Structure formats: structure tokens, C-alpha cells
Structure 1
Amino acid sequence: MIRGVRGAITVSADQPEEVLQETRRLVLEMARENKIEPDHVASVIISTTTDISSAFPAKAVRTIEEWNFVPVMCTHEMDVPGSMPLCIRVMMHVNTELSQKEIHHVYLNEATKLRPDLTAKSQVSST
């Protein structure tokens, strides 16, 4: 069964090193939380808010050992007034036996404010 695994993280500035570092951190945490191996991943879509343009976040995924063959695509998020700035979102399509409610969606840094319902669930299950 293919399931979607969501994640989001914010950066403090649109700097290439930080965009790549935080994207890598998010993807690795999503994989760890859901016991995802690269061969389980059908594809990854990464979106950024329009204020991030210094680097392709997909590059961070391709540099993770054994993830270089995973299809990854970048795009920009809708530019909605008042939305969270400097945000990177990841949608991983993963072959898994986990049910929808067993999936751990990962929100880091200021992005925890996007889905406090899922962040609280993750914190409860990890204690």
C-alpha cells in the first residue's frame, strides 16, 4: 500500500546551506519516525514558500546515502497572504503496511504550528 507521509520545517533565512541542512534533517527524521528505507519510497515532492529560492531542497535528499535513486521534485507552495514564511514541506509517497493513523507526520521548528494536532500526537507516542 502506498501512503503519504507529510513533513514540514522552517529555516531562519534563505541561505543555501541552511535550506539543504534543514531539508536533510526533516527527511531523515521522517524516515526514522516511520522506519522508511529508500527502497520503500516511490517519490518525494518538496515545496517551499516563495521566499525560498537560494537552493533546490531536492539536492539535500539526493546527497543522503542510498537516496540518490529516489525520484524527487521541487515546487513552490501557493503564495497565500499571511501564510508561514520560510517553510519547506515534504510529501513522501511510501510503500508501507502502516495504516493512515499509524503514520507519523513530522513538523519541526516553527512548522509545528502548522499541524499542532499531529505534532501533539507525535509527542505523545514518543514518550
Structure 2
Amino acid sequence: MTPPAPRLHGIRGATTVERNDAVEILAATDELLRTVIETNELQPDDIVSALFTVTRDLDAAFPARAAEDFGWNIVALLHATEIPVPDSLPRCIRLLVHAYTGRSRGEIKHCYLRGATALRPDRA
């Protein structure tokens, strides 16, 4: 049987940090990226783009810097600030990766780490 042709999918993820510190933000983002890539068995050429959002209490570093350090130098990367909803999860980094994969939508694994498991306990 022929494997399915790769389709473009969105893969979500999120993590948190304890404090607004550049080293901590980059380390947490690196961990999140590695988890998304390994869990979904993605190859570098599969990645089309990535959108990073942060809560307003994080401004010590751009999370996409971790992606660039990871080797995503030619991947389209974008940052944004989350809407400041009252009582939302603090110090949170969210990720949306667009990637080609032979997996079906139901086989995609979204990754929620650290305190972000509270966002989607069904997917953590």
C-alpha cells in the first residue's frame, strides 16, 4: 500500500517558564520545539512556518531565537503577544507549527508542557 501524500497540518504546543528570563525562555522554547518535532517525527524540510505567542509578562527574549538556534534559519517565523485575558495562564509561550506530514489530522500530536498542561489536559 502506498503511504499517504504529505499534507499541510497545524501542530500546536505550549509551555511555561518560572520567570521572565532570556535563558529560561529560550530553553523552554527549545524543549517545546524538540518535543513537537520528535513526537510528530518531523524532518527539517517538513517545516513551513511557525508562529510564537507569549503572554505580556514575557519580554526578555524572542522565542523564535530558539528556532533559529535549532537550525530553522530559512523557516518563516513570527511573534505575537497573546490577548491579556483576565486570569489566563501567566508566563506562557504558545506555538503553532505548519508542517507537511503523511499523518492524518487525528494522528497529529499537540504538545503541552510544564504549566501549559492546564490549557489542554486532554492533550498533555
Please state which band the TM-score falls in when normalised by the shorter chain.
over 0.9
Q: Return the offset for 1:68.
A: 1.7
Write the letter of the residue equivalent to 2:21.
Q
C-alpha separation between the residues in 2 aligned to 1:6 and 1:91? 5
Q: Say which of 63, 80, 84 aligns to 2:85.
A: 80
Structure 1 residue 8 corresponds to structure 2 residue 14: yes
- For the 8 Å contact 1:51–1:86, the answer to whether it is kept is yes
Q: Which runs of 4+ in 1 moved over 6 A?
A: none
C-alpha separation between the residues in 2 aligned to 1:73 and 1:103? 22
Q: Return the offset for 1:99.
A: 1.0
Aligned length: 118
Q: TM-score, normalised by structure 2?
A: 0.92
Q: Return the offset for 1:14.
A: 0.5
Gaps of 5+ in 2: 1-6
Q: Return the offset for 1:118.
A: 1.2
Q: Return the offset for 1:67.
A: 1.8
Structure 1 SS opposite 2:122: helix
Q: TM-score, normalised by structure 1?
A: 0.90
Identity %: 39
**Which residue number corresponds to residue 110 of structure 1?**
115
Structure 2 SS opposite 1:118: coil
C-alpha separation between the residues in 2 aligned to 1:103 and 1:3? 8
**Which residue number corresponds to residue 106 of structure 2?**
101
Greater Cα radius of gyration, structure 1 or 2 = 2
C-alpha separation between the residues in 2 aligned to 1:100 and 1:34? 11
Gaps of 5+ in 1: 120-127
- For the 8 Å contact 1:45–1:74, the answer to whether it is kept is yes
